[in-house]
Chains A and B, each alone.
Chain A
Amino acid sequence: MGLESSKWAIIFLVCWLYKNVSCNSVEQKIYVELNNTVPCVRLLNATHQIGCQSSISGDTGVIHVLESEEDLEWPLSKGPNPPYMVLLESSLFTRSIMMKMKNESNRVAGVAVVVPNTSPPEFSPHTTCPNENTGVYSDNYGPNLAHCNTTVWNPRGNGLSYEEFDFPVFSLKEDNETEFIKQCYLDHNRAVNGSAPQYPLCAMQLFSHMHAVTNTPTCMRRNDINFSINPEMVCDPLGDYNVWGSIRPYNDTVFGHKENESVVIAAARLDSRAFFWEVSTGAEGSVSGFVTLLAAAQALREVTHEAPPTRNILFAFFQGETFDYIGSSRMVYDMENGKFVIDLDNIHSVLEIGQVALHSGNNLFLHSDPVSRRNNTVNDVVKNLVNNLQSSTAGLGFLLVEPNVSQPLPPSSLQRFLRAQPIPGIVLADHESAFNNRYYESFYDNAANLNLTYPSDLSPEEQLEFVTHTAESLTDVATVVARALYKQAGGDESRVNTIKADPKIVTQMLYGFLVSSNNSWFQAVMAPELKNILKPSPPEYYVGVAMSSTPTRLVQYLLANLTGAATNLTQSQCQKPDELPNESRQMYSYLWVQGIVPPNSTERDSFCVRASVRLTKAVSPAFELGEYASKDYSTWTESRWKFIKARIFLVASRDLEMLTLGVGVAVLFTSLLVTYFISTKADVLFSSTREPASAAY
């Protein structure tokens, strides 16, 4: 009983000293679990694997807080207790340091990066030439424009996201846990006067074992092995849904070419990525584009009801564009194969909204493809579109300018349309050549990158309504886009100046997509069963594999609310509208949304929205066709894993461990010998008091 009570005595003493909540296990005296960590996971494509991998029972290393690049000598060569777990501040998270550690990876057990709340001057882990092999430019099409020979779009890119590391890399926030880790390092791991630090040392263990290896064809082949009842999947294709909506509805069951139908497509992308899994904010990279397009769609709603234009306008929001154009390649594939409501020949022109929030100066730029413009018909339509755009900026304080030099299109969904057919199109962007975005596809591309600031004394609801400068400038861009689309679609010229985007809607969208998605407006436009996807933080824009990405749902419901009509249908009618004479599920989609809470009530005013907004599957055609090694389509997959966690603890010296084992073996052998000896001589040693049986006579 003594040991039990001694254990309890120690525990209670420690509890009293540290005021912990529950200490009733030896495990809690040893390990501290780290809860706010984000791992880097493994992604695979047709030829490579990228990302990070740990061993199946975790990687343990002695913590070393890196102070400078020269300090790397300690973990890589001088330190006496390899392997090391290197803790980096974000300023040291550079390509040269990561590559050095990658080369000496037998001494590096893993890396932990502390992500601060303030952004460094610039950081982009993406490549310098995004999506260079799946765009339109190749050796056959504009060879001097391919592979960023003329313009390097992302010069700050260090390509870390596309490297393969065979140790785990985790990110930590700047909070109490990280302070505890650094304190543990200072207490135990510092070398005093150049001599080796004494055991016990502070160590960290990271678990992020990925099941998939080598490349996509290998992991898809392993998915298909079916010799057990529960086959183990090792990877999943990236993908989600594209959202599209149109001014005039299309019958969702009639696919293929439509006679005499000419459509103007307005496109934007929905997703972005970062080095670590899922923590992508994509403010300038994607949010600026699709928020502008949503605002333009809302601006066009009234005028297209009163004076419908000749051509139809189709708003398309593509998912998965970061990973070799998953969404747009799928839509083009569907159009080519008669699986979409229109055909490539129905497209009149394309206007794509790229990154538009960081104007330097008063100009936005209109990028077009010089190769397709060599054809006169295409060139005429493009020039007409440029004119429509430039004339729409009247009275708005900025100009739309075409770039001076003949340069290729920036990475955009339009490139996939051009791969199929020469279609006239323009990409609207705030950069003339290289991106203005200093944090392209990184976790710093957030609200601060757009200078989205609110006065400090506002409550969240007041912040939602407050119109920021960023919102005003994006509203102007949306107005220009809406007017240009109306003119491009052949609408009534006299009504063009009545088209204005609403800054209140733009600022509410920016708040919801970049600050907090759980606000009253988003709650009002979402369905009741989806209200759990709204959180107090911004949504994640990583496309993922679960086909349930939050931005897709939000954009679907926003587009429906902003372009559709509220109806009087009840909830059951909303689910089965075909029973009513004037409603048709094939032409429209009917969504039951929560609605706002009226001032003197607690019940929401839910209603049914009828809109011509649809979702189409955005999974790469490579997976439909089974061509996992395809060079034409995206082949990105994400590996599966069992669990991901991190913890810190102290490690003892090898000498102490071996001493314990030695003492144990010695005790065991000694006791075996002594016991054997005593038990054989027991009759001599212990005189018996029992009467011998033979004496009973």
Chain B
Amino acid sequence: MSLTYTPLDEIPNIHATARRAFLSGKTKSIVFRKRQIAQVAWMVKDNEQRFMEAMKADLGRPYQETEFFDFGIVYGESRMAYDNIEKWTKEQAPDFNPNWFLMKPRLKPEPKGVVLVIAPFNYPLFLLLVPLISAIAGGNAAVLKPPENTPVFSALLAELLPEYLDKELFHVVNGAVAETTKLLELPWDHIMYTGNGRVGRIVAEAAAKHLTPLTLELGGKNPVIVDPKVDLEMAARRIFWGRTSNAGQICLAPEYVLVPEESQAALVSAFRNFYHSFFPEGAKKSDSFGRIVTEAHAARIKNLIEQTRGTIEFGGDVDIAEKYVSPTVVSNVRADDPLMEIFGPVLAIVPVKDIDEAIAFINSRDVPLAIYVFSFDKALQKKVVDNTQSGAIMMNETLVTAGAPGLPVGGKGPGGYGYYTSKYGFDQFVHMRVSVNNPAWVDKLALWFRFPPYTVAGGKKIRSLETPLPPRPTDSESSISNTWVVLLATAVAAASSVAVLRAMERV
């Protein structure tokens, strides 16, 4: 199927239409936003079969995976935004403060404006529509750029979106590099990009020119630590599921497993059992196993498998024409092995001495989107949590945080920044506008002292606005502990005299 690309000279017009529609103020109505949010869900619900078929055509993806990962999250997000939008958009007051409450300080989330959402091929429905729901809840206009390598899905979205959503505010732009480049030249009020770090840098540089704020979701090499004392069968089942779902093309997928050398064989054998129980007639014949998005990617993965210096325990078959890569486990993989960058159904096992070596291994690489720990030992879990960085950290599970309602999805360092989903997704698309309204008489009662000419009396008054300082740390390891004793005594004396004299301020 060939995808109809949006004509290049149409793109600025689409941007202008969205801008005009935003400026018309129609997104200000919360009722309007709620209807649009509901429509996003109904667009999917009414066309579930077509979307599932599109994913099947583009990614060979089993229906169940589309329902579980794409539909489920879109429905959940739409419901959450629909139910919480009044709470999210409501004006908030900071904590009561006697010096300032007369001015009625308030904060209110307001839309950023016209936003751009760019999504990759692996979860185009989730990665476009979930941000769209957040953007609508925030009151924005939005342009969606689906991936060009899922042509059936991208065409379907371009067909359906205008049938369900406001045609002026919300648009789909289809295309490849030229169209994306054109999009990136325009001044957006926020850009949300999901994909890889190389393109992420291009997007960030384009955003820098217009001072556009960004959310970047860039994935990374997610490690798994397996404690041999864990229920190995459970661990193998959940890891293997995380690695083979969507044929391994998930930014949260476990990419490699760190396990003590002596337990490697047992783990491999558990993986092998699940290979057989997941795909009893082999993965190629199974309707429960997806395909690689393009032949080029299948060839890339084939190349990695051929180059690895590890031991291929099972799998390793690639049929480029069918975009098929079999679920594969490779053991004895070392840090410098080519397999350490996969995005396919190939799981590398890296044997280590102990937990310290596993942590050191993780810390020697880029901060991943997720770290997975399979262990029932709380102390071990805590050790990993405290000594590593990552977007997410899961104990005895893979992938699922993205689906837990209310948990933000977001990377750190090279994994990106900003958040998807829930209130945190909404926050990406709003600006907290602050306000105060200060009655005239406040100047008589207080705050008169701020006006020139400055006087000694006014200076004292200013200090009355001050909150008391936290106690001075008495820590003896400080380099200036000597002078401190004197200072501390002074402070104590000052504090007590203040307490006695009360209203008297320090000058």
Partners in one complex: no
